[in-house]
């Protein structure tokens, strides 16, 4: 048996969102000379446009570096950047499985936050060595000692030796690397054993096919090897292996303990699932590594092309995104109002927004998205059960015995000043109080059980506005709960618009119906005829507003000098109309479907 | 048949709603400007020597603010350099605060046979608010000088605080004064004008209120024997403005003077809006055109429909065919079908039903391609 390279370190960086994870990664790369300062783009690892603009990391991105430590030895470091947002916990857990240690970045001005904790526990579950790092010490409001104490009290990690750094100014970055070398163990495994490599990510390259991101547990792999994906039983010939530098850098072979990529002219990403194990085709009986549990989407919405004829373009866009995002689910859907589209499932609201934005931006498609929904469990009178995430697929009331809705365990962290408002909000949102803990004099942790459908509605916006942005919030699914739910339909000019139907709690239905009608009245431009906007439950109208007919759009004069201007004005209006969708006889702006729920509070 | 438009960019005081090219403080330049205008007429006349013109229109600004002899000279220049029909319609816009018996006599001598008088409203406080330099008495004096002449009165709707009663008074004054033609149009608050602030602050009547005033005014005008021949133009039988009808029939016209627009030989072009630049160009022998574009056939067809639908006569299939060699019913088949409920067809003619005339932008949208 041969041990992997003793001077190899695989680690990742975990942190609460905005605690400086990507900046720390950039500084480490800079210090190891991985990227020359001149070529350095801010936050190199966040390579998607959206990631950079929003300042978040979505996809995990690995990079290999060499570092000569103070002990005089050269070490090979593989760093895997991870997303910080709760929606992407799945991505985090995948990268953790490829590492032996994790840097836990904590903002010295913010202290331990919801996601710090969640990620730290994830890392502990994966048996990783956790190295706390205190960041942002350059800021006036940095509380270094208190932050250390918090790490010890709340997470139970020794933080006395934790490197204290300012990634922004590049202070003490070397301390981090020394800690990595000293504290994080090298990978174990056996380079002589048959190949076993964990696929922790993948993406589709137009020339090379699917690129597998792998961590080799045992054995080695090189060009020409015949490999097998355990789950699908498919065989491939390796065409290229290499490291992340951070761009793909081919090398001769990958050895046990190493992190790198494999290309093998793989055409379909479905055949090489993330979490699967790659083994040698010569040793088909090699037992696979433990994978990840399959992730279930929790938030759903319909996505339709604005221009109905672009359905195939939309399909292609979603398929391509799926190649890089295993957590996205979709199935074809058909709406009376919006035509052909897809019902997509997401890990959370942010994930949903990101996907929508990527479709519009990267594929240049205008889309209509419906209000987010969750997956309800319907118990039918005939004893059967089914999950429904699309309100228009809900069976008739007469066939429903009872329904259950998904519940989350939510943790809200807030300064004590806003405790009252936060509790009011949770109460409003049908929450059940579970626990309250004072973390220190400035922060309280509240635990509630909340229906997920209230969270996808406007919980987060409300929380931020009621606490002036001070509260943060995290949640995890906590099963299903019986609930009195009804479908609320919206009728435009007397016709049900299926794309606007929502499932709501019975007690909320009247208020929500009223709000919806009011919002729609404001959002739908006046047309040549009067448009009744009605909300209905099972055929009974519960709210009504009217979009008045337009009375005047032209009384100005139009003489010789006005003709061109008038034409341009009409062209501009026409442009605006392109963002509209014809629902029966009514023209509806495309944003309405998504935003109508967000724009106003229930009155 | 084609028209000639002359722009006189001078006035005594800028009205609060005005976004035309007009300079209240540059009357001293009138002589030089009118000399340039005559020069431009000469240049254009040479280009268009094969064309025949049926109407002439002096617009502004306030054409009546300058010495009437300049108008006389300009008319002489037109007669010299353009072919006019036997009985051309020659109109001049007038501000009631700037007229005299002598002026009108000079205009008539110059061949002007139609006058467009800016009444706007018969409520003095509203005239003051608009920055008009005249009051109702000035208007009555002005029109008394025009007794027996063919003149039109301009009336505005959508003024701050304007009531139906105000509209009634205004229409009555205009009718009583003997106007054979009345333009009744809605105030359009343009960005950059003082009145735009009122608009932003919600001080002007909204679209629905303006529509109500309009319906009321229209009913009164009908009672008094004026019929509507275009969205905002009304007249006694036979007194349509030939010059303006030409615009709506997508006829050709040449505009001279600063900021004037032209449409000739399939191109739309516009002179500079800058007075200095205009005069410098002319003095150097250049045409001061700043915008010039050829109208593509599909745009031309849309223009035809857009303009024709403003009028009571509507789209003439025959005239359309003469212009484009195709049937408009085929060219716009989908839009025509979709909007059938809003249109009236009568043999050759198709027009928008009375009650939808004011919402025609919505209808026109369907006639635009893409």
Tell me the percentage of chain A whose pLDDT exceeds 70.
90
| Tens-place pLDDT, residues B102-137 | 999 999 999 999 999 999 999 999 999 999 999 999
Searching chain B, which residue's CA lies closest to the CA of residue A548? B208
Quickly list H helices, A234-325: 311-324
- Facing A556 at nearest CB: one of B3, B185, B248: B185
Buried b (16+ CB within 10 A) or exposed e, B163-175: eeebbeebbebbb
Cβ contact A566–B261 (<8 Å): no
| Tens-place pLDDT, residues A363-406 | 999 898 888 889 999 999 999 999 998 898 999 889 999 999 99
| Tens-place pLDDT, residues B312-348 | 999 999 999 999 999 999 999 999 999 999 999 999 9
Cβ contact B247–A553 (<8 Å): no
Q: Average pLDDT over chain B, rounded to whole?
A: 95
Tell me the percentage of chain B whose pLDDT exceeds 90.
91
Give CA–CA dist A316/B263, Å, rounded: 48
Cβ contact A548–B208 (<8 Å): yes
Searching chain A, which residue's CA lies closest to the CA of residue B212? A551
Q: Is B344 helix (H, G, I), strand (E, B) or coil?
A: strand
In chain B, which among 319-358 make CB contacts under 8 A with chain A?
Answer: 342, 356, 358
Which residues, other chains included, contact A101 with Cβ-Cβ below 8 Å and sequence gap of 6+? A9, A10, A11, A12, A128, A129, A130, A131, A180, A183, A184, A185
Measured between beta carbons, the chain A residues lying within 8 angstroms of B183 are: 557
- Tell me which of A525, A547, A561 to substitute to probe the interface with B (most B C-beta atoms closer than 10 Å): A561
Token readout for B26 is 């540059």
Searching chain B, which residue's CA lies closest to the CA of residue A527? B362
The pLDDT confidence band at residue B258, using thresholds 50, 70 and 90, is very high
pLDDT at A61: 66
Residue B44 has pLDDT above 90, yes or no: yes
Looking at the complex, does the CB of residue B91 fall below 8 Å from at least one CB of chain A? no
Question: What was the ipTM of the complex prediction?
Answer: 0.87
| Tens-place pLDDT, residues A212-234 | 989 999 999 999 999 998 888 88
Cβ contact B268–A558 (<8 Å): no
Closest CA to A35 of A27, A425, A236: A27
Q: Give the H/E segment covering residue B108.
A: helix B101-110
pLDDT at A54: 53
Cβ contact A552–B208 (<8 Å): yes
Confirm if A535 and A510 have CB atoms less than 8 A apart.
Answer: no
Cβ contact B231–A554 (<8 Å): yes
Give CA–CA dist A501/A394, Å, rounded: 10
Confirm if A175 and A143 have CB atoms less than 8 A apart.
Answer: no
Looking at the complex, does the CB of residue A575 fall below 8 Å from at least one CB of chain B? no
- Tell me which of A551, A562, A573 to substitute to probe the interface with B (most B C-beta atoms closer than 10 Å): A551
pLDDT at A156: 83
Q: pLDDT higher for A80 or A504?
A: A504
- Facing A553 at nearest CB: one of B214, B263, B362: B362
Q: Average pLDDT over chain A, rounded to whole?
A: 84
Q: pLDDT higher for A91 or A315?
A: A315
- Tell me which of B362, B364, B367, B369 to substitute to probe the interface with A (most A C-beta atoms closer than 10 Å): B362
Measured between beta carbons, the chain B residues lying within 8 angstroms of A580 are: none
Residue A493 has pLDDT above 80, yes or no: yes
CA distance A554 to chain B (A): 5
Cβ contact A563–B362 (<8 Å): no
Confirm if A227 and A233 have CB atoms less than 8 A apart.
Answer: no
Closest CA to B26 of B59, B60, B50, B1: B60
Searching chain A, which residue's CA lies closest to the CA of residue B303? A567
Q: What is the pTM of this model?
A: 0.69
Token readout for A412 is 């809200």
Q: pLDDT higher for A456 or A421?
A: A421
In chain A, which among 257-296 make CB contacts under 8 A with chain B?
Answer: none
Q: Is A402 helix (H, G, I), strand (E, B) or coil?
A: strand
Cβ contact B359–A528 (<8 Å): yes
Q: pLDDT higher for A16 or B358?
A: B358
Measured between beta carbons, the chain A residues lying within 8 angstroms of B362 are: 527-528, 550, 553
- Facing B253 at nearest CB: one of A557, A560, A571: A560
Looking at the complex, does the CB of residue A563 fall below 8 Å from at least one CB of chain B? yes
Measured between beta carbons, the chain A residues lying within 8 angstroms of B310 are: 554, 558
Pairing verdict, β B52-60 and B2-8:
parallel
Residue A59 has pLDDT above 60, yes or no: no
pLDDT at A599: 46
In chain B, which among 154-213 make CB contacts under 8 A with chain A?
Answer: 157, 183, 185-186, 188, 207-208, 210-212
| Tens-place pLDDT, residues A174-203 | 999 999 999 999 998 898 999 999 888 887
Searching chain B, which residue's CA lies closest to the CA of residue A585? B338
| Tens-place pLDDT, residues B133-154 | 999 999 999 999 999 999 999 9
Looking at the complex, does the CB of residue A564 fall below 8 Å from at least one CB of chain B? yes
Which residues, other chains included, contact A429 with Cβ-Cβ below 8 Å and sequence gap of 6+? A450, A451, A454, A455, A457, A459
Cβ contact B306–A554 (<8 Å): no
Range A258-265 average pLDDT: 91
pLDDT at A346: 87
pLDDT at A38: 39
Looking at the complex, does the CB of residue A530 fall below 8 Å from at least one CB of chain B? no
Give CA–CA dist A185/A171, Å, rounded: 25
The domains found in chain B, sorted by start residue, are 2-247 (3.20.20.70), 309-368 (no CATH)
Give CA–CA dist A396/A538, Å, rounded: 9
Q: Which of A79-83, A278-282, B5-9, B168-172 has the lowest mean pLDDT?
A: A79-83
Residue B237 has pLDDT above 90, yes or no: yes
Looking at the complex, does the CB of residue A551 fall below 8 Å from at least one CB of chain B? yes
Q: Is B286 helix (H, G, I), strand (E, B) or coil?
A: coil
Give, in degrees to the nearest 5, the angle at Cα A148 between A142 and A151. Answer: 120
Cβ contact A555–B358 (<8 Å): yes
Give CA–CA dist A298/B256, Å, rounded: 68
Longest dimension (CA), chain B: 57
Torsional class of A494: left (φ above 0), alpha (ψ -120 to 50), beta (otherwise): left
Measured between beta carbons, the chain A residues lying within 8 angstroms of B356 are: 528
Looking at the complex, does the CB of residue A224 fall below 8 Å from at least one CB of chain B? no
Give CA–CA dist A267/A323, Å, rounded: 10
Searching chain A, which residue's CA lies closest to the CA of residue B342? A528
Q: pLDDT higher for A127 or A474?
A: A127
Residue A556 has pLDDT above 80, yes or no: no
Cβ contact A570–B268 (<8 Å): no
Give CA–CA dist A314/A312, Å, rounded: 5
CA distance A586 to chain B (A): 13
Residue A135 has pLDDT above 60, yes or no: yes
Phi, psi of A76 (to 5 degrees): -100, 125
CA distance A555 to chain B (A): 5
Give CA–CA dist B182/B235, Å, rounded: 6
Cβ contact B263–A560 (<8 Å): yes
Which residues, other chains included, contact A258 with Cβ-Cβ below 8 Å and sequence gap of 6+? A4, A5, A8, A78, A187, A215, A216, A243
- Tell me which of A526, A547, A557 to substitute to probe the interface with B (most B C-beta atoms closer than 10 Å): A557
Closest CA to A204 of A361, A317, A97, A73: A317
Q: pLDDT higher for A476 or A302?
A: A302
Phi, psi of B44 (to 5 degrees): -70, -40
Rg (CA), chain A: 27
């Amino acid at each position: 048996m041969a041990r992997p390279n003793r001077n190899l370190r695989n680690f990742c960086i975990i942190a609460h969102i905005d605690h400086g994870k990507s900046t720390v990664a950039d500084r480490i790369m800079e210090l190891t000379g991985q990227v020359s300062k001149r070529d350095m783009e801010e936050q190199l690892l966040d390579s998607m446009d959206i990631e950079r603009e929003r300042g978040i990391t979505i996809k995990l991105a690995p990079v290999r570096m060499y570092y000569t430590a103070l002990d005089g030895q050269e070490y090979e470091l593989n760093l895997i950047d991870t997303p910080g947002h709760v929606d992407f916990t799945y991505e985090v857990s995948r990268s953790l499985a490829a590492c032996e240690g994790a840097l836990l970045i904590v903002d010295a001005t913010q202290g331990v936050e919801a996601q710090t904790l969640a990620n730290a526990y994830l890392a502990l579950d994966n048996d990783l060595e956790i190295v706390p790092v205190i960041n942002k010490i350059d800021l006036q409001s940095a509380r270094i000692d208190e932050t250390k104490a918090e790490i010890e009290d709340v997470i139970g990690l020794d933080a006395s030796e934790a490197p204290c750094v300012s990634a922004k100014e590049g202070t003490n970055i070397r301390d981090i690397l020394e800690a990595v070398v000293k504290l994080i163990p090298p990978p174990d495994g056996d380079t002589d054993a048959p190949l076993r490599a964990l696929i922790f990510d993948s993406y589709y390259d137009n020339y090379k096919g699917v690129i597998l991101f792998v961590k080799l547990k045992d054995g080695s792999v090189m060009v020409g090897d015949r490999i097998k994906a355990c789950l699908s039983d498919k065989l491939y010939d390796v065409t290229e292996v290499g490291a992340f530098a951070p761009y793909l850098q081919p090398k001769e072979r990958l050895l046990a303990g190493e992190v790198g990529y494999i290309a093998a002219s793989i055409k379909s990403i479905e055949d090489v699932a993330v979490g699967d194990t790659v083994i040698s085709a010569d040793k088909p009986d090699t037992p696979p590594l433990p994978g990840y549990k399959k992730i279930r989407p929790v938030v759903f919405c319909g996505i339709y092309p604005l221009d109905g004829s672009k359905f195939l373009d939309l399909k292609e866009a979603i398929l391509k995104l799926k190649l890089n995002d295993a957590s996205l689910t979709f199935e074809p859907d058909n709406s009376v109002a919006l035509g052909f589209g897809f019902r997509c499932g997401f890990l959370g609201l942010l994930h949903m927004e990101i996907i929508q934005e990527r479709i519009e931006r990267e594929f240049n498609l205008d889309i209509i998205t419906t209000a987010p929904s969750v997956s309800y469990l319907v118990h039918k009178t005939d004893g059967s059960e089914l999950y429904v995430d699309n309100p228009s697929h809900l069976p008739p009331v007469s066939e429903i015995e009872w329904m259950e809705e998904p519940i989350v365990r939510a943790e809200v962290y807030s300064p004590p000043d806003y405790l009252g408002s936060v509790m009011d909000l949770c109460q409003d949102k049908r929450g059940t109080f579970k626990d309250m803990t004072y973390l220190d004099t400035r922060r309280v942790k509240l635990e509630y059980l909340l229906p997920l459908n209230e969270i996808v509605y406007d919980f987060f916006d409300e929380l931020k506005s009621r606490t002036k942005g001070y509260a943060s919030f995290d949640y995890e699914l906590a099963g299903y709960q019986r609930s009195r739910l009804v479908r609320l339909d919206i009728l435009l000019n007397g016709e049900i618009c299926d794309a606007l139907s929502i499932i709501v709690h019975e007690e909320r239905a009247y208020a929500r119906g009223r709000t919806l009608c009011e919002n729609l009245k404001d959002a739908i431009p006046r047309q040549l005829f009067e448009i009744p906007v009605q909300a209905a439950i099972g055929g009974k109208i519960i709210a009504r507003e009217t979009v008045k007919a337009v009375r005047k759009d032209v009384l100005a004069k139009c003489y010789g000098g006005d003709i061109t201007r008038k034409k341009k004005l009409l062209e501009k209006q026409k442009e605006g109309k392109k963002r509209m969708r014809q629902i029966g006889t009514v023209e509806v702006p495309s944003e309405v479907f998504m935003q109508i729920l967000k724009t106003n509070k229930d009155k | 048949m084609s028209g000639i438009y002359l722009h006189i960019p001078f006035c005594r005081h800028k009205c609060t709603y005005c976004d035309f090219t007009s300079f209240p403080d540059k009357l001293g330049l009138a002589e030089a400007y009118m000399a340039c205008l005559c020069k431009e007429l000469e240049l254009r006349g040479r280009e268009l020597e094969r064309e025949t013109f049926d109407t002439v229109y002096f617009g502004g600004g306030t054409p009546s603010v300058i010495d009437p002899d300049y108008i006389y000279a300009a008319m002489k220049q037109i007669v010299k350099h353009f072919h006019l029909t036997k009985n051309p319609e020659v109109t001049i816009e007038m501000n009631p605060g700037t007229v005299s018996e002598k002026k009108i006599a000079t205009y008539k001598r110059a061949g002007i046979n139609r006058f467009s008088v800016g009444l706007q409203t018969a409520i003095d406080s509203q005239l003051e608010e608009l920055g008009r330099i005249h009051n109702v008495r000035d208007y009555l004096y002005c029109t008394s000088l025009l007794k027996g002449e063919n003149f039109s009165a301009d009336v505005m709707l959508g003024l701050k605080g304007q009531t139906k009663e105000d509209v009634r008074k205004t229409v009555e004054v205009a009718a009583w004064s003997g106007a054979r033609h009345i333009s009744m149009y809605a105030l359009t608050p343009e960005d950059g004008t003082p009145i735009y602030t009122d608009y932003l602050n919600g001080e002007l009547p909204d679209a629905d209120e303006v529509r109500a005033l309009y319906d009321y005014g229209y009913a009164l005008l009908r009672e008094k024997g004026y019929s509507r021949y275009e969205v905002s133009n009304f007249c006694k039988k036979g007194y349509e403005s030939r010059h303006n009808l030409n615009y709506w029939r997508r006829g050709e016209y040449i505009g001279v003077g600063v900021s004037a627009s032209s449409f000739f030989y399939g191109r739309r072009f516009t002179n500079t809006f800058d007075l200095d630049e205009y005069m410098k160009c002319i003095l150097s022998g250049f045409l001061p055109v700043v915008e010039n574009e050829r109208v593509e056939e599909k745009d031309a067809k849309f223009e035809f429909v857009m303009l024709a639908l403003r009028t009571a006569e509507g789209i003439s299939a025959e005239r359309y065919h003469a212009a484009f060699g195709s049937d408009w019913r085929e060219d716009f088949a989908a839009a025509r079908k979709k909007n059938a409920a809003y249109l009236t067809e009568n043999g050759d003619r198709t027009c928008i039903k009375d009650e939808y005339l004011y919402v025609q932008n919505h209808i026109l949208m369907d006639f635009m391609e893409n």
